[in-house]
Amino acid sequence: MNSFYLKITACDRVFFEGECVYLSFPGVDGSLGVMAHHQPMATVVENGLVRFRLPDGSEHEVIVSDGMMNVENNRVDILAFSAERPDEIDIRAAERELEIAREQMQQKQSLIEYNLSSASMARAMARLSGARRLKSDEPL
Amino acid sequence: MAQSREIQNRIKSIRDTMKITKAMYMVSSMKVQKAKNKLAASAPYFDGLKRQIADILLHFPEIRHLYFDNRQKDEKETVKKKGFIIVTGDKGMAGAYNNNILKMAREAIGGSEDFRLFFVGEYGRHAFHDLQDHIADDFHATAYDPSVHRARVLTEYLLDLYDREELDEIYIIYTRMVNTLTEEVVKEQLLPLRTSSFLRASMKAKGDMAKDGDYLIYPSPEEVLGSLTKNYVTGYLYGALTESFASEESARMLAMQTATDNGDDMLTGLSVQYNRMRQAAITQEITEVIGGAKALRRKKEKNRKARTEE
């Protein structure tokens, strides 16, 4: 099977590095997929769930935030502020973050604060949905 | 004896101070280690961002973006509105760390007319009291234990000013660690980004670059570049804050080490002085006793002589 090189880098570690056969990620307007020998591309990865399949057939999931992706020479680079496995996410903490973000959204605030809290809300929701999915095994 | 009690008191107080400096030394050394680990962990991410920006600039050399130094507006402006981010510590007790930054900051501001100051760390804000009118009041950030979240908040704040063109150039003045012992204060331009610096970084990768026609940027180069820049600025700020924090703690470590060494020297001096004084006191006492005994004996002998003469 054709494979490509995938590297997922978060700001505190290199999350994954190695061969991969299929990758799906949340794009600007919906989920997108990448397979081997993809056209060179640079794009934005939204907050959400990235899935990839390794040559041995195993599937992996990772929840990313504020990501960028670059495809070139059969090599895919994903750079994200955070990259976490669903089982690494503390649901309680994510719920608390969502609560805080929601509360902040309701208060009168400047545009900067609005941008910040809506971004942190999106992050919290992405983490929650990723982690909850793992628990209930329901399809996304 | 009163003086030797004084010396003893001083020795005791120096010992107490040394306990504090030793503890601070250990706390700081732990923080330095932590900050260094954080810095090392974020390096691959930051390098990756730099490479991606370079890639896009290489593929689209004609792109003119608000965040880059080749924007059209630049050529028309004569007076630049400058912003300075000055990263100092929250407190002193770190040797020359804070003063070095303040000195560099004064130099950087130089003759600028239209400028605003943003302080990370309280020390700087107090030191620049004379330029109160230029200090952004609603910009508050502590230098202690930087996080990505704080960097993100600062970026949002700065980019907002930049987008509204209230600032044309943003500089950051912070301390970089050259190695464990040497630190240097640097002034770097945060925005607009210098296209040349990115291109130079990626020159060697140019060979295996894809053909321009095939390169897809989705949804649009502007949007991707905008997003990248935001992440880049956040990453840069995070790196600068972390490095400053590591430098501050390392400077404090050194200052505390010196303080402890000085304390040791003082203790040696004082204990020699104390022993000498104690010895002098003992010698004097013995001399007095002997003198007294001699006098007594002489008196007795005199009495005896007087008696025999009688």
Residue type, B238: Y
- Please, which residues bridge with residue A18 across strands? A6
Distance CA B201, CA B164 (A): 30
Count the alpha carbons within 13 Å of A44 in the hemisphere toward its beta carbon: 20
Out of B54-63, B159-168, B228-237, B285-294, least confident range: B54-63
DSSP E strand stretches across B103-178: 115-120, 169-177
Chain A residues whose CB is inside 8 A of the B65 CB are: none
Average pLDDT, chain B: 84
- The confidence band for A22, taking pLDDT boundaries of 50, 70 and 90, is very high
> Which residue type, as a one-letter code, is found at position B16?
D
Query: Do the chains contact at A42 and B216, CB–CB below 8 Å?
Result: yes
Beta bridge partners of B217: A42
| B307, burial (CB in 10 Å: exposed 0-12, middle 13-18, buried 19+) | exposed
Of A12, A44, A119, the CB nearest to B224: A44
B:103-132 residues touching chain A, CB 8 A cutoff: none
Q: Which domains does chain A have, with CATH numbers?
A: 4-84 (2.60.15.10), 89-136 (1.20.5)
Nearest to B258 by CA among B102, B124, B97: B97
What element of type H or E holds A98?
helix A91-106
Question: Which residues from chain B sit within 8 angstroms of residue A70, using beta carbons?
Answer: 51-52, 55
Cα A18 to Cα A7: distance, rounded to the nearest angstrom: 7
Tell me the ipTM for this assembly: 0.75
CB proximity B234 to A under 8 Å: yes
pLDDT of residue A140: 45
pTM of the full structure:
0.79
User: What's the pLDDT at B77?
Assistant: 62
Query: What is the residue-wise DSSP string for B216-278?
Result: EEES-HHHHHHHHHHHHHHHHHHHHHHHHHHHHHHHHHHHHHHHHHHHHHHHHHHHHHHHHHH
Distance from CA of B105 to the nearest CA of A (A): 27
Cβ distance A112 to B156 less than 8 Å, yes or no, reads yes
Q: What is the pLDDT of residue B81?
A: 85
At B96 the pLDDT is 87
- The burial class, CB within 10 Å (0-12 / 13-18 / 19+), for B208 is exposed
- In B, residues 199-218, which contact A (CB 8 Å cutoff)? 208-210, 214-218
Q: Give the whole-number percent of chain B exceeding pLDDT 70.
A: 90
Q: How far apart are the first and last CA of chain A?
A: 27
pLDDT at B3 over 90: no
Cα atoms found within 13 Å of the Cα of residue B35, Cβ hemisphere only: 26
**Cβ–Cβ below 8 Å for B52 and A77:** yes
**By the 8 A CB rule, do B20 and A50 touch?**
no
Distances (CA, A) of B254 to A52, B21, B25, B226, B305: 48, 11, 8, 42, 75
Span B276-308, pLDDT tens digits: 999 999 999 999 999 999 999 999 999 998 888
Please give the pLDDT value at position B270: 93
